Homo-oligomer: A and B are copies of this chain.
Amino acid sequence: MTYRSRLAAAVESRGGLCVGIDPMPSVLAAWGVQDDVAGLERVSRGIVEGLGEHAAVFKPQSAFFEPFGAAGIAVLERVLDDIGQAGALSILDVKRGDIGSSMDGYARAYLTDGAPLAADAITVNPYLGVGTLESTFALAKAEGRGVYVLARTSNPGGAAIQGAVVDGVSVAQHVLDELTVLNASHDDLIGVVLGATHDDLGCDPSHFNGSILAPGIGVQGASMSDLERIFAKVLPNVLPNASRFVIGSGPEELFSRFNELLGR
């Protein structure tokens, strides 16, 4: 099965919300655990324990596992395994980007059957050129996995480079246009990241045919009702992500916060 068909099935049965697993120090404190590797494991696996049978997709943020070195990465391996065991999909937020053999190393790490950190999809960064990602897309296709390319991120300062002009369009639009062409030969496995926090995206995703991961719901200021206004006719392709709003008030609030966002 392709990534897109797996994603569609998961969203159909469980609803269209991605839960960010962002075990940052303030979240660990809210869960009443220490800022150490045991606390990291308690929170990140506790999120999957609480919501694993209910959420379609989880997005672990690698930046909160890496500070603990190999021990933190071992926790991330277990979290990814938990997500799969619960029948949900994982988008591992690593935002990797490199060239040639180095980019191939990242693709091997995160998109290959049997790799300790294999995820259903990952996020990647296009600064080195969309062309540097083509072998990653090819591997993802062979493995039935997905890739989300940063286009317009949710932070206000993202416009500086993402709004620069190339061939008469913004960098974000350039990325969208390149990926639209590539998706035709890649089972539409290539998605984009477009922040839901902007009144003006600085690009037009109306012709983009891949999945649109939209972070920024909740603490970053966007609401689920903003999505229709921002994304209009491609709204069915949008996968909104919420992290701290759902996970940031401790384990007791997980389920009610999750249901609140899904309007249940």
Which residues does A use to contact B, with CB under 8 Å?
22, 24, 26, 61, 63-64, 66-71, 73-74, 76-77, 93, 95-106, 108-110, 112, 115-117, 125-132, 150, 153-155, 157-166, 171, 174-175
Contact = CB atoms under 8 A, between A and B. Distances in A.
When A and B form their complex, which 3 residue pairs have the shortest distance between CB atoms, in order from nearest? A69-B116, A63-B105, A129-B157
A206 to B, nearest CB: 22
Contacts of A164: 161, 164-166, 171, 174
Q: How many copies does the complex hold?
A: 2
Contact of A63 (B22, B103, B130): B103
B129 A161 contact: yes
Max chain B Cβ within 10 angstroms of own Cβ: one of A99, A158, A163: A99
Contacts of A130: 157, 160
Contact of A150 (B24, B101, B127, B159): B127
A160 to B, nearest CB: 5
Nearest to A108: B67
Given A73-B70, A132-B155, A150-B128, A166 B174 contact: no
Given A95-B96, A164-B166, A105 B66 contact: yes
A98 B63 contact: yes
A153 B128 contact: yes
Contacts of A116: 68-71
A71 B117 CA distance: 11
A110 B130 CA distance: 27
Contact of A102 (B64, B105, B150, B157): B64
Contact of A125 (B71, B127, B163): B127
A101 B70 contact: no
